[in-house]
Structure 1
Amino acid sequence: MDELYTVPAQTRIGHVHLKVSDLARSLDFYCGLLGFELTTRYGRQAAFVSAGGYHHHIGLNTWHSEGEPPASVRSPGLYHTAIVYPTRRDLAVIFDRLRKAQYPLTGASDHGVSEALYLDDPDRNGVELYWDRPKEQWPYFPDGSLNMYTRTLDLNGLLAELG
């Protein structure tokens, strides 16, 4: 391990696979509320969902977790799954959908480089729904380093995207 290695720039995170306690309830959330498509299901034990016909972006299984309570927020594990929307308007559409369903948010932030909505799935797995601003709009410090911050997201301004 003497040689410095840098992961290739085209590398991406392919999918997340979550342990859930109730597969039907999780499918209601990820497909019914968020709008992912079910690509395949293995009985009551596992399912795979995606956007745009990909084989899967999210895997859900109950192999070791069926009927179990959520993990403690203080225990190690996944902080959140981040789902990137292509445009600010797309983020506004899902926000409006969540609002109309009265699904609670845990936060809403402007990070300079992105705008994000935060919520928990039915098993208290964190979910971030966001869109990236174009790179040329990202804020930088005078020394050229990226100035990411956390400010309150203007939710009314986001909804204004819907006309």
Structure 2
Amino acid sequence: MNATNPSVRIGHVHLKVADLEQAIRFYSGVLGFEVMQKFGNQAAFLSAGGYHHHIGLNTWDSLNGTPPPQGHTGLYHTAFLYPSRESLAVALLRVQNAGIPFDGASDHGVSEAVYLHDPDGNGVELYCDRPKDEWPRDADGNLAMNTAPLDVAALIAMARDAS
């Protein structure tokens, strides 16, 4: 059996966007990623922490395009893992302050997650993990993820109290 090396991870996501500057305003201005490099008005590469890029944005095949229609295949969402509940709360406050609506919020037992869409209609998940030793398990020790409501207002209040 071929097992993936446990050190393998997803390095970046590259998105086709309709309006590069609008996408940069969302991913940099709202979510806080740093623009590492731009290729004219056609592409940009953004990062957290100085990596060459975690997010690629381009208009090469999508300038002024529209989101794919419902019922078609494609990207469901890109998930951004925050290092702590507090850092997730700060990100959610920025999203709320930008007037971007949340599509949903869930406590999955292993993580707390909030869902929204970027300006091009791509799904975005902002989440933080719980410590692995707190993950829910069934009687046999198997992972038992679930979906329960998440109190987003309490998370945002945490960010406001910290500032």
Q: How do residues 117-136 of structure 1 correspond to structure 2 at under 5 angstroms? A: 117-136=114-133
Aligned to 2:44, what secondary structure does the other structure show? strand
2:34 aligns with one of 32, 37, 48? 37
The letter for the 2-side match of 1:39 is: M
Aligned to 2:11, what secondary structure does the other structure show? coil
Using the aligned pairs only, state the percent identity.
56
Kept in 2, the 8 Å contact 1:82–1:128? The answer is yes
Aligned to 1:47: 44
2:151 aligns with one of 145, 149, 154? 154
Could you list the per-position Cα deviations for residues 98-147 of structure 1 after superposition, in whole angstroms to 9, with x for gaps in the alignment? 12222111111100000001000000000000000000110001111111
Q: How much is the aligned-residue C-alpha RMSD, in angstroms?
A: 1.0
Provide the C-alpha distance between the structure 1 equivalents of 2:109 and 2:154, rounded to a whole number of angstroms. 15
Provide the C-alpha distance between the structure 1 equivalents of 2:21 and 2:7, rounded to a whole number of angstroms. 35
Q: Which runs of 5+ in 1 are unaligned?
A: none
TM-score (norm 2): 0.95
Aligned to 1:24, what secondary structure does the other structure show? helix
1:98 aligns with one of 75, 91, 95? 95
The letter for the 1-side match of 2:82 is: Y
Q: Which runs of 5+ in 2 are unaligned?
A: none
Quote how far apart the aligned CAs of 1:18 are: 0.4
Kept in 2, the 8 Å contact 1:20–1:61? The answer is yes
Could you list the per-position Cα deviations for residues 37-65 of structure 1 after superposition, in whole angstroms to 9, with x for gaps in the alignment? 00000011110000010000000011111
Could you list the per-position Cα deviations for residues 4-33 of structure 1 after superposition, in whole angstroms to 9, with x for gaps in the alignment? 100001110000000011101100100011
TM-score (norm 1): 0.95
